[in-house]
Amino acid sequence: MSIKRVIISGGGTGGHIYPAISIANAMKEIDSSLEFLFVGAEGKMEMEKVPKAGFNIIGLPIVGIQRTQVWKNIFFPFKLIKSLWQSVQILQDFKPDVAVGVGGYASGPLLLAARFLGIPYYIQEQNSFAGITNKALAAKAEHIFVAYPGMEKFFPAEKITLSGNPVRKDLINAAGKKAQAAEHFHLDPAKKTILIIGGSQGARSINQGILAGLDRLTNAGVQLIWQTGVAFESTAKQAAAGNASTYVSAFIYEMDLAYAMADLVISRAGASSVSEICLIGKASILVPLPSAAEDHQTENAKSLVSQNAAILVRDVDVKEKLITEALAALQTDLSTLEKNSLRLAKPNAAHEIAQSILSR
């Protein structure tokens, strides 16, 4: 089959968006004549990030299922039906040769419509615990690309390839940029630096833990690159006012420089963040988001901790343990964590997935 048009669906968080963009870019490198269309969820960050990456995107009214505030699901069936109908129309208009779903509720209606119309589709699962959308669509998928071993408990074994998670290409070349990073963030290249990333929206508990321990970190001579998310940015900037050793921003686009500067990373355990940390070979403290679907972030973190490649601090223990663990880690030799995390990296994931799809 000669592939000319590709539709890619998924989103809701950066963890789904960046792998999708990485796969599309890898496919373009193999065949520059390919046409792409992305499908995401209205109002979510993919509607901004995908066009910035140079691709067209259409939003669906689909929303995620609320597991805690169940009453909010009253309109879910209507939004699902509308999204399915729109997905059929999008597919009939764009006429893709293949569809790729990267997970998240935004990919469900599009891949279901593709199945209904007989369009072959592929799935990329980023987490060590498969999401409900990907599990539901796995049986009819052409192939499924996973980031962790042992995914046979969720998907048909004969359809699985252990590819790893696609990550932003610029991160592969992050090594050797520390001097540039220090200049960019106005920090001292000789001092220990912690990078705090709470995911694309920020992480409330991590932000509050860093805020409470800011004086301890500063007094210990530790520098911070603190990605707060929009909601916490003003609070963090006020707390760090006049503190030359702390860089605060709602969102960091120059992540290659941020990783290059960091001696230690404090992060949620979303699939993309974990994959990036491994790719760069950084020591990390992972704080899984407890409300993540099927608690998949805890499973992601445990996959690294079991290989002595990361430190785990539970969300409920952040206030008591996070700063202490961070300072203790910086006093030790971090090379073991660094080497073990790098050993788990799969830097060619996007190209391998792209090549596999285009060669079928």
Write out the binding residues: 13-15, 127, 168, 200, 252, 297
What does the alpha-carbon distance between residue 196 and residue 267 come to, in Å, rounded to a whole number? Answer: 6
Q: How many CB atoms lie within 10 A of CB 39?
A: 32
Identify the CA nearest to 123 among candidates 91, 159, 95. 159
Identify the CA nearest to 20 among candidates 90, 93, 153, 123. 123
In the Cβ-directed half-sphere of 286, how many Cα atoms lie within 13 Å?
33
Q: How many CB atoms lie within 10 A of CB 320?
A: 11
Q: How many CB atoms lie within 10 A of CB 306?
A: 10
Helix (H, G, I), strand (E, B) or coil at 67: coil
Identify the CA nearest to 329 among candidates 311, 341, 302, 304. 311
Bind-site residues for UDP-N-acetyl-alpha-D-glucosamine: 13-15, 127, 168, 200, 252, 297
Tokens of 186: 């106005």
Identify the CA nearest to 246 among candidates 220, 277, 282. 220
The H or E element containing residue 106 is none
